[in-house]
A and B are shown apart, each in its own frame.
Chain A
């Protein structure tokens, strides 16, 4: 009996031995695993096949948010439709905005495409800038170092462990980035049509040229009129490929690809988006391989 009571007392301590992390998107879940190793328990809110703009605060997320020590999100209003609900309804003071248990990747990097003025007539624009920041490896490096610091401050007992892993990750990442930049050099200047503005960082990093988007305005579904117009425009300035993310509807890209006689390329967009994008390294390797395959 006494042993049982003792076990009951110890139970919560054991549960806290591991830092419990709720990641809003797969890229941050993967990064938290890289940095936290077996000292963290990571749950990722959505898969790569789910549109990060259309997430609901579903019951399982509420339950995970309740016990999370750290909520890792992109920020810049990407999760505005659901993270505030998780914060206010889960009864967890640790993950509130402004607390150390809430981490925004956007706070570690500077965002591109920050609009001068915002108005909903421009579509789904984010006042702080484009939130899809993880497709530039330099941003991953910055976020990784900030996130490792945060994890170390939350879980002081393992601080050295996180710092060690962070250093090791930074080194591997720098080497890989240099390799990718070399591999991606031929993509410089390659004109592409994108689906949504979620590939802007990738396009900018590789120096590709975005000559059009399937969405008439960010967040609006592609319309026939807009696609027809795009086909016309591609006759003037042709593109090498139409590129979409794994979670996008394949049909508009297929439609345009057939009309404009260019290949349609599916990019993993994030970890888990394709078979090969098993982790952050795989994400970049597969993304580059798929783009290089259509480079003529």
Chain B
């Protein structure tokens, strides 16, 4: 009898317990976070940057001897304190089929620049993604990476000389990822040819097109790699600059090849390098007089960053350009066209140490010995800060 009673009591307990469990679960469900009224607002993040710099040569008359000016903001950081570009990033899924992203840069000159503003498909499937608008081109390794995520404050010399720092054209990009275990990714872009090496043609067709491919995978559990090959073709018209008081302008074809690789080992070692080779063929107007022009020029860089303790990283970069062969019209020589025809191989050594208390903040010290200008060494020292506010950004490999 007592046993039976105890058993009944136990059954009663179990039932009560089950009932309690059910009610707790119901409560948990009810207290689940309700979407706020701003739930459909895009993810917003803001990047704040600034530098304090010293340099032995004036950044205002920076040039890369032996190379036509690329028009971009490629000079070293301004002397003294200066604000870097503040970037406002907004991104969101638009609907089940598209997502959109805007990256606006507020320049220290109080201008707003649209760095990226694009839509991208989400549901094409079969490995295809279509992007349209203005976006960082997928060529090379560093080109699609935003400046605040670079491992050094400025771009490597070949990017400065051949792309004006980076390429972000207006156009469309189609990318395909192969259904393989090894990453095989192919992409092509058609663009207006808004910036260097193109010249924003007023024409009813694309002014630039590119092709790029990447392969990548793992070696063991800790090492990942990616290698790529890219091609960019543009047809600049009257791409002009003034050197030694004479206006020179190029019209013709410009073809750029980039071979790139990156290896990351564990979470603390990164090695990357890229090789650029550009051929330009066409017509050079020198002081109004036309003539044949052809050039074959190249450049490369290699850099490595190592995290030697939590929060601290150190890096070294070597970059170099080769003047190569430049054949100019008769009468145009290094004497009257020194910028274009001086046979100089610009090169630079850069070291940096940065400290990142969290992934949202970084302070960097960077030293460089820059021989971009013939016969001159520009010693540069700078301190840089980069802070990210708001939504957590995802950084590409």
Give A contacts to B, CB under 8 Å.
15, 47, 49-51, 54, 56-60, 62-64, 66-67, 77, 80-85, 87-94, 96-99, 110, 114, 120, 123-124, 127-128, 219-221, 249
Whether A63 contacts B394 by the Cβ 8 Å rule is no
- Interface size on B, as a range, is 35 or more
Whether A82 contacts B394 by the Cβ 8 Å rule is yes
Whether A59 contacts B217 by the Cβ 8 Å rule is yes
Whether A221 contacts B217 by the Cβ 8 Å rule is no
Whether A63 contacts B182 by the Cβ 8 Å rule is yes
B177 CB within 8 Å of chain A: yes
Taken residue by residue from 114 to 135, chain B's Cβ proximity to chain A (1 for < 8 Å, 0 otherwise) reads as 0000001011111111000000
Whether A60 contacts B310 by the Cβ 8 Å rule is no
- Whole-angstrom distance between the alpha carbons of A94 and B225 in the complex? 26
Whether B127 contacts A91 by the Cβ 8 Å rule is yes
Stretch at the interface among B27-35, B159-167, B288-296: B27-35
Interfacial chain A residues near B32, Cβ < 8 Å: 110
Whether B267 contacts A59 by the Cβ 8 Å rule is no
Given A59-B226, A67-B179, does the pair A92, B28 have CB atoms closer than 8 Å? no
**Could you write out 12 A-B pairs with CB less than 8 Å apart?**
A54-B267, A58-B224, A59-B214, A62-B185, A63-B181, A63-B182, A66-B179, A81-B395, A96-B96, A96-B122, A96-B123, A219-B358
B392 CB within 8 Å of chain A: yes
Interfacial chain B residues near A94, Cβ < 8 Å: 125
- Whole-angstrom distance between the alpha carbons of A295 and B191 in the complex? 67
Interfacial chain B residues near A91, Cβ < 8 Å: 124-129, 175-177
A62 and chain B: residue at smallest CB distance:
B183
- Whole-angstrom distance between the alpha carbons of A62 and B225 in the complex? 12
Whether A47 contacts B221 by the Cβ 8 Å rule is yes
5 shortest A-B CB distances, which residue pairs? A59-B216, A93-B123, A59-B183, A110-B28, A58-B224
Identify which of A50, A93, A114 contacts B33 (C-beta below 8 A). A114
Closest CB of chain A to B87's CB: distance in Å?
18
Closest CB of chain B to A140's CB: distance in Å?
16
Interfacial chain A residues near B214, Cβ < 8 Å: 59
Interfacial chain B residues near A62, Cβ < 8 Å: 177, 183, 185, 216, 397
Interfacial chain A residues near B241, Cβ < 8 Å: none
- Whole-angstrom distance between the alpha carbons of A95 and B131 in the complex? 18
Q: A58-B264, A59-B183 are in contact. List 15 more A-B contacts (CB 8 A).
A: A15-B179, A56-B264, A56-B395, A58-B397, A62-B183, A64-B181, A77-B392, A80-B394, A89-B177, A91-B128, A91-B175, A92-B127, A93-B123, A127-B33, A249-B310
Whether B394 contacts A124 by the Cβ 8 Å rule is no
B396 CB within 8 Å of chain A: yes
A107 and chain B: residue at smallest CB distance:
B32
Whether B310 contacts A51 by the Cβ 8 Å rule is no
Whether B125 contacts A84 by the Cβ 8 Å rule is no
- Whole-angstrom distance between the alpha carbons of A94 and B179 in the complex? 14
Whether A93 contacts B394 by the Cβ 8 Å rule is no
Given A62-B177, A91-B126, does the pair A98, B96 have CB atoms closer than 8 Å? yes
Taken residue by residue from 209 to 248, chain B's Cβ proximity to chain A (1 for < 8 Å, 0 otherwise) reads as 0000011111001001110000000000000000000000
Interfacial chain B residues near A67, Cβ < 8 Å: 179
B21 and chain A: residue at smallest CB distance:
A138
Interfacial chain B residues near A89, Cβ < 8 Å: 129, 175, 177, 396
Identify which of B126, B217, B225, B393 contacts A63 (C-beta below 8 A). B217
B178 CB within 8 Å of chain A: yes
Interfacial chain A residues near B128, Cβ < 8 Å: 91
- Whole-angstrom distance between the alpha carbons of A204 and B129 in the complex? 44
Identify which of A56, A82, A97, A99 contacts B224 (C-beta below 8 A). A56
Given A59-B216, A90-B127, does the pair A81, B177 have CB atoms closer than 8 Å? no
From B99, B177, B178, B358, residue with most partner A Cβ within 10 Å: B177
Whether A80 contacts B125 by the Cβ 8 Å rule is no
Whether B33 contacts A66 by the Cβ 8 Å rule is no
B22 CB within 8 Å of chain A: no
A51 and chain B: residue at smallest CB distance:
B267
B311 CB within 8 Å of chain A: yes
Closest CB of chain B to A174's CB: distance in Å?
13
Interfacial chain A residues near B60, Cβ < 8 Å: none
Identify which of A47, A88, A123, A127 contacts B122 (C-beta below 8 A). A88
A12 and chain B: residue at smallest CB distance:
B179
B184 CB within 8 Å of chain A: yes
Whether B181 contacts A60 by the Cβ 8 Å rule is yes
Interfacial chain A residues near B180, Cβ < 8 Å: 63
Interfacial chain B residues near A60, Cβ < 8 Å: 181-183, 216-218, 224
Whether A90 contacts B177 by the Cβ 8 Å rule is yes
Interfacial chain B residues near A123, Cβ < 8 Å: 358
A20 and chain B: residue at smallest CB distance:
B179
Tell me the residues in window 305-346 of chain B with beta carbons closer than 8 Å to chain A beta carbons.
Answer: 310-311
Closest CB of chain B to A143's CB: distance in Å?
14
Interfacial chain B residues near A128, Cβ < 8 Å: 33
Given A67-B179, A90-B177, A110-B29, does the pair A59, B224 have CB atoms closer than 8 Å? yes
Given A56-B264, A63-B177, does the pair A93, B124 have CB atoms closer than 8 Å? yes
